[in-house]
Structure 1
Amino acid sequence: MAISFVLEGKFHTTTELLSIPQEELPEWLYEVQNFVQKWVNNDAFFEQQTSGSTGTPKTIRLTKKQMEASAQATIKALNIPQKASALLCINPAYIGGKMMIVRAMLGEWNLELVAPTSNPVNDCTLKHYDFAAFVPMQMKQLATSKSGLAFLHRIDCAIIGGAPVDSSLLQQLQQSSCICYSTYGMTETVSHVALKQLNGAEKSDFFKVIGNNEVKCDERDCLRVRGAVTNNEWIQTNDVIEVVQGGFKWIGRSDFVVNSGGVKIQIEETEQILSKLLALSTSDELMLWKAPDQTLGEVLIAIVNSKTLMTKVMDMEQTLKEKLPKYHFPRRWYISKNFYKTDSGKLDRKKTYESVNAE
């Protein structure tokens, strides 16, 4: 049995998918068709745009061998059976979407293809899914509604990638029977090389490395990784980690560090603490970044999405300062209703700060 592609409830063979005229396909489905065509043609390599995790964004070439190694590592780590039913509702233009297709082809799955919208529930037709992939924005839509939670009960296992899972989403996932994993990886590592279970009996605070991948720290405590997915070459990242047995704890990006008068403040770590203290429900309410300062070199700044939240911060200022590490309370505060995002759904902190600073 080969892979079956499910479109609007109808099952299609690979040949049938490839025979659909391109002009009849929406852009996201053309991405699927184009990738599958290259795969069956045994193209020597696949070009993919990176997001900048290891430096300036660029186009790299990935081989079929690398992609197969990544797919097999995920299938083995999550014990996904042959002929499983799975859901692709993330953007197939990115490596995460493409790797769902590769896993499905290797595992001879029934892969339902759904437009990558913020809430894909209404387009999903299968009664049960062994496996699915989401970005945090989609999972938030599912985890915060009755219909979304009911839909998640139809899924055995899901991965969430493309951006970090914030504390509010993590809390919401505890009521779901779908076992969810946060992923760590990038285009250069052919999607994820490590998984962190977010709910269920084996919930963890650490990422567990999968496949034959190995990780270590450089002198900046930034992660380096190599394995079959990197052609056994070391890939250097800007992600600060703490290595533990069998895996690591992700701290944040090294370029997301504020050096304020010699005090180094990790932006993402401080943002998580503040969000928890303020009992925020989404990651679109508070954002931290850095700004130049004549005296301290750099200072930590904060942007909130409403006057109500700003008032709450001012009322709690003394408590927040006491709970945060010394010098970690942002020195400047701004209000903005627009938190800019990158194409992959990550916060564009620099652009958001520049927009409020220009006002």
Structure 2
Amino acid sequence: MLNLTHKNVHNYFKLNGYHLSGKQLSQMGYSYIKEGDVYERSIGEFLLDWFDDKDFIEMTTSGTTGLPKLVRLEKQAMIQSALATGDFFKLEPGNKALLCLPVQFIAGKMMLVRSFILGLELDVVSPSVEPLALNKKEYDFVAMVPLQVQNSIKALKKVKKLIIGGAKIDSALEEKLLPLKSEIYETYGMTETITHIAAKRVGERAFSILPNVKIAKDKRDCLVISVASISDKPIVTNDLIELINDNQFVFLGRIDNVINSGGVKLIPEQIEAKLTGKINTRFFVTGVPDSVLGEKLILVIEGEKLDFAPDFFDVLGKFEKPKEIVFVPKFKENENGKLLRKSSLVV
């Protein structure tokens, strides 16, 4: 496995049951672009990008950690990320994997790269909210977003190892996953880190970092990530963390979501965790300008108006109780299914 380049394809690799070389995959890329469905065209474009002579690919970030921007990812760094994933999750050549994520995003691209490099037998299906619904096969390794997992609970017995990314797993979904026999992990990462750099089993509090990753926190208590194969400079995030040790951290919330209400700093993600399971529709808390408090905490709920008992918010601390409840017909999301808080808010 030494001196791997992006032109290498492991001899155990299969795509939809067929052994294919890099040249054959490039040819398939042309076919997908010309004749494929929408999701296949994205795969085709990536296959042509991956097997060309450039040592990088370019893509746009999702915009959830800041404004969307064009980033250049070195193919060698993507290979190193694939090797780290294989090491962390103990993947072996010949393991059966499923690609059910859109390939225009980094998570879908990396399922292909991992398969090329690690020698996985990869099946590809159209991205949908129920990717296992019509599939009777069993898989060693699958990646999904929380919405797909939510709609696949009964079918997850077909999956030995499942990684979940793209958005945080809420406590209600986590409770459904805990009794399952599958190895299920929540992952942490972003486009700039070439997908996940840390993972935790469902039920665990702290994320553990993958091989060759270093972590620290800055003066704001935000996570700083160093991965030599990705960047010469540390990647500074806006994610508030509790640093457990050199290898583990607890995600607390986004610093740009923090609400300063009358001098008290409130982390929405922690308040939302306390309310999860009590409200049977999507919701979030946020701050809006207030002449007295500077910002006041409000609860935003998707759907029709609900009535709450006087003791409903007793699970929250004194300053965590919303000053107002706002109902919005439909939340807005980006293409990756992530909730857009600011654009969803209608006051």
Deviation at 1:171, TM superposition (A): 0.5
- The match for 1:241 is 241
- The match for 2:320 is 328
Alpha carbons 1:260, 1:300 under 8 Å: kept: yes
Q: Deviations over 1:66-86 (max 9, x none)?
A: 101111111100001112110
- The match for 2:13 is 3
Q: Secondary structure in 2 aligned to 1:13?
A: coil
Alpha carbons 1:87, 1:111 under 8 Å: kept: yes
Superposition map of 1:309-320 within 5 A: 310-311=306-307, 313=308, 315=309, 317-320=310-313
Deviation at 1:46, TM superposition (A): 0.5
User: What letter corresponds to residue 226 of structure 1 in structure 2?
Assistant: S
Alpha carbons 2:15, 2:121 under 8 Å: kept: yes
The structure with the greater share of residues assigned to helix is 1
User: What letter corresponds to residue 50 of structure 2 in structure 1?
Assistant: W
- Which of 105, 108, 116 aligns to 1:94? It is 105
Identity %: 33
| Structure 2: gaps of 5 or more residues | 1-10
Q: CA separation of 1:303/1:53 partners in 2, compared to 1, >3 Å: closer, same or farther? A: closer
Alpha carbons 2:14, 2:20 under 8 Å: kept: yes
The answer to whether the aligner puts 1:301 opposite 2:298 as a matched pair is: yes
Of 104-113 and 15-24, deviating more is 15-24
Deviation at 1:307, TM superposition (A): 4.7
Deviation at 1:210, TM superposition (A): 0.6
- The match for 2:8 is none
User: What letter corresponds to residue 200 of structure 2 in structure 1?
Assistant: K
- The match for 1:13 is 20
Deviation at 1:229, TM superposition (A): 4.2
User: Counterparts of 2:229 and 2:255 in 1: how far apart (Å)?
Assistant: 24
User: Counterparts of 2:89 and 2:112 in 1: how far apart (Å)?
Assistant: 16
Of 61-70 and 287-296, deviating more is 287-296
Alpha carbons 1:190, 1:229 under 8 Å: kept: no
Q: Secondary structure in 1 aligned to 2:39?
A: helix
User: Counterparts of 2:64 and 2:328 in 1: how far apart (Å)?
Assistant: 26
User: Counterparts of 1:302 and 1:343 in 2: how far apart (Å)?
Assistant: 24
- The match for 1:272 is 273
The answer to whether the aligner puts 1:208 opposite 2:212 as a matched pair is: no
Q: Deviations over 1:237-272 (max 9, x none)?
A: 000000112210000000010111111110111111
The answer to whether the aligner puts 1:133 opposite 2:143 as a matched pair is: yes
Q: CA separation of 1:191/1:229 partners in 2, compared to 1, >3 Å: closer, same or farther? A: farther
Alpha carbons 2:133, 2:152 under 8 Å: kept: no
Q: Secondary structure in 2 aligned to 1:43?
A: coil
Q: Secondary structure in 1 aligned to 2:77?
A: helix
Q: Deviations over 1:282-325 (max 9, x none)?
A: xx4322122111211111111223456x21x2x1x3352x4312
Give the aligned length. 332
Superposition map of 1:31-180 within 5 A: 31-124=42-135, 127-143=137-153, 149=154, 151-180=155-184
Q: What is the Cα-based RMSD across aligned positions, in Å?
A: 1.8
- The match for 1:191 is 195
Alpha carbons 2:55, 2:76 under 8 Å: kept: no
| Structure 1: gaps of 5 or more residues | 144-148
Q: Secondary structure in 2 aligned to 1:153?
A: helix
- The match for 2:217 is 217
Q: CA separation of 1:249/1:79 partners in 2, compared to 1, >3 Å: closer, same or farther? A: same
Alpha carbons 1:217, 1:223 under 8 Å: kept: yes
Q: Secondary structure in 2 aligned to 1:100?
A: helix
Q: Deviations over 1:77-105 (max 9, x none)?
A: 00011121100001111011111111000
Q: Which runs of 4+ in 1 moved over 4 A?
A: 14-17
User: What letter corresponds to residue 64 of structure 1 in structure 2?
Assistant: K
Deviation at 1:13, TM superposition (A): 2.3
- The match for 1:288 is 285
User: Counterparts of 1:46 and 1:274 in 2: how far apart (Å)?
Assistant: 41
User: Counterparts of 1:2 and 1:319 in 2: how far apart (Å)?
Assistant: 56
User: Counterparts of 2:36 and 2:289 in 1: how far apart (Å)?
Assistant: 48
User: Counterparts of 2:241 and 2:129 in 1: how far apart (Å)?
Assistant: 30
Normalising by structure 1, we get a TM-score of 0.88
User: Counterparts of 1:37 and 1:44 in 2: how far apart (Å)?
Assistant: 13
Q: Secondary structure in 1 aligned to 2:318?
A: coil
User: Counterparts of 1:263 and 1:212 in 2: how far apart (Å)?
Assistant: 38
User: What letter corresponds to residue 66 of structure 2 in structure 1?
Assistant: G
Q: Secondary structure in 1 aligned to 2:34?
A: helix
